[in-house]
Homo-oligomer: A and B are copies of this chain.
Amino acid sequence: MDATQLRQPRADQARRVADVLRRQLHSYAQVLPTEQQLAAEFAVSRNSVREALALLRDEGLIERGRKVGTRITQPKFEHGLDVLLGLRETLKGHGDVRNEVRVAQLITPPPAVARRLQLRASERAVYVERLRYLGDLPLSLDLTYLAPDIGLEVIARDLEHNDVFALIESVSGDHLESADLALEAITADAHSAATLQVPEGAPLLFLERLTRLSGERPVDLEYIRMRGDRITMRGSLVRTPSEEQS
């Protein structure tokens, strides 16, 4: 036996194959290689390949047909982690982003939100809730709190066809300079699932993002649920000298 043959339980092999394949899907045109080809590429049994493909099918990434082979259902869209781009700007070329505006009004913000936006006591905030579509497909549900001066001008514009980021820059004449973000994985509760048209319990990327104009002025606090089967967050990072270990 080849000394570099990896002997693992089938479920471990299947996971290993599925992980590499998941990130490779975009490199195949429409149809994946056959089970036999994949078994050879990964040096695993066809049973392990079959189990790996079942994992990806369960994630909604591929579908398998007796005649047509294994096809990619729909590619995941890549959203930049390291650039301040709205969804519409990000998905330029993939289709049209349309926003179903569920709420857009002035509210009394909860104290935690007021603190993050550095609002004065009793100052209001503008709350916007949008269900965002690419074509007919819901991609994300965005809950947005805006500083009131800018927010009121933003909701007077065409929210259905513009990113909030673009509108903020347009009405403020300033540019968005920095953001703090936190990303979590959660599952869809019944109501969010129905809204995003996924099964209850489907995986969602949950993003909290506080975005600032120049001069470190916080202006936009968002809580975003993205469909896990449709969005990947991508980024690059470079170690800066201050992070060097001694």
Which residues does A use to contact B, with CB under 8 Å? 2-6, 8, 11-12, 14-17, 19-24, 27, 41-43, 55, 58-59, 76, 78, 81-85, 102-103, 105-108, 110-113, 124, 127, 129, 143, 166, 169, 175-187, 189, 191-192, 201-206, 208, 223, 226, 228, 231-239, 243-245
A43 to B83: give the CA distance in the assembly, Å: 34
A178-B239 contact given A184-B76, A201-B187, CB 8 Å threshold: yes
**CB-based contact A183/B183 at 8 Å:** yes
Which of chain B's residues have a CB closer than 8 A to the CB of A127? 6
Which of chain B's residues have a CB closer than 8 A to the CB of A21? 112
A203-B176 contact given A107-B6, A143-B19, CB 8 Å threshold: no
Which of chain B's residues have a CB closer than 8 A to the CB of A208? 19, 23
**CB-based contact B55/A189 at 8 Å:** yes
Q: Name A177's contact: one of B23, B108, B185, B238 (CB within 8 Å).
A: B238
A111-B41 contact given A189-B58, A237-B82, CB 8 Å threshold: yes
**CB-based contact A2/B108 at 8 Å:** yes
**CB-based contact B4/A105 at 8 Å:** yes
Which of chain B's residues have a CB closer than 8 A to the CB of A175? 239, 244-245
Which of chain B's residues have a CB closer than 8 A to the CB of A244? 175
Q: Name A236's contact: one of B5, B102, B179, B243 (CB within 8 Å).
A: B179
Q: Name A178's contact: one of B111, B203, B237 (CB within 8 Å).
A: B237
Which of chain B's residues have a CB closer than 8 A to the CB of A16? 129, 143, 223
Which residue on chain B has the smallest CB distance to residue A209? B237
**CB-based contact B235/A192 at 8 Å:** no
